[in-house]
Chains A and B, each alone.
Chain A
């Protein structure tokens, strides 16, 4: 079953995820074949919050499909500053485009789309709630590397509390078999209770770690997110902790041969530049994968073969 809008990886099936990946893979191997698929179609882009990567990736995806883009890139230039509600903005884009992507700092926007949009609406990041397309491209990157996602040992490190990609990534991973998951974060930035509860309801088990050193040699994938200084009530805590959640070539001496590092980007200083050149870095390829995955999503949601 494909939900009408895509705001969460929690409510989509593994079959749907695999359908997206299989189409993304076809597109990746022969993008020219898809160059005119969305001719005459318009992607509405409602970015109430600044975004570079996600917005460019969606726009690139639509342009590569031969479609067009209509929208705004910051609430400052939209009527949101004049006090227009999200529901009215969604009603409006509904008239002018065939599919839309929305990023908002307000959480729960997906329910508004359910009530007020007849065109498919996809989340481009919703507060700290979810970022489903990022999680899909993350998983696609893992699948490309290992062929299967089942049975992998995966570490997720950084800000698990506010990072919006984290719930989406974990909800998606929870659909796979025998994932050995390690969550590495300072106590103040561990999973939100509601996310932990959802995982518990799904019977998805994981280990909570404070130190990457203890487990890095067991991992196939290390997924890193940035820890932002402003998330800490006490800046002293930040200074004390940030080193623990940074990695350099020193830290990856004893990793598995096939070990890879992913990061949704932008990074601050949690991954040392020296890692970029090693065979373990995949974060730049990961960003490109986003375009294939979003092209696949646009096609599926527009019902184009």
Chain B
């Protein structure tokens, strides 16, 4: 397959978001974390395992009428750190963002520790430092426990 064949599979969208260079096989997971399901009212195009010059194989997702929140982008950076986010207006790329795994995340996922104060009814939000990006490991600011890739894959 060539770059050309991808264009045949995936149609252009008028406005919305194109997430490109997703690690192969992760596209469905990305739709899930963005809350895109069968009820989504606009065009969604998804291509899995298409040829890519940079990464041999990649997934691509195009979602019409969707703008990513900072939280969406954060989640995306953990699942698909290689991905680029293109904001499309009037069929044109208006902005291109490279994802960057942050060093700290808040109110993002629940702590793995049931006895953690961030899981109790207190006026605080969960808060984690990123101690490793590959594999992804978060450390709870409250209880110090580690959230490892396996747990995060289940939760994100």
Contact = CB atoms under 8 A, between A and B. Distances in A.
A107 B146 contact: no
Contact of B117 (A111, A194, A197, A198): A111
A220 B148 CA distance: 37
A86 B120 CA distance: 9
Interface string B77-120: 00000000000000000000000000000000000010111101
Given A87-B122, A194-B139, A105 B146 contact: no
The 6 closest A-B pairs by CB, nearest first: A108-B142, A108-B117, A107-B143, A108-B143, A194-B146, A194-B144
A107 B113 CA distance: 9
A193 B144 CA distance: 10
Contact of B145 (A86, A105, A115, A192): A192
Interface string A193-217: 1110110000000000000000000
Interface string A140-176: 0000000000000000000000000000000000000
B146 A108 contact: no
Interface string A254-273: 00000000000000000000
B50 interface: no
A115 B146 CA distance: 23
A109 B117 CA distance: 6
A197 B131 contact: yes
Interface in A273-305: none
A81 interface: no
Interface string A72-89: 000000000001011100
Q: Which of B117, B120, B121, B142 has the largest count of A CB atoms less than 10 A from its CB?
A: B117
Contacts, number: 57
Nearest to A84: B121
A197 B148 CA distance: 13
A197 B141 contact: no
A129 interface: yes
A106 interface: yes
Interface string B113-135: 10111101111100000010000
A129 B144 CA distance: 8
Given A85-B123, A86-B122, A129-B143, A105 B115 contact: yes
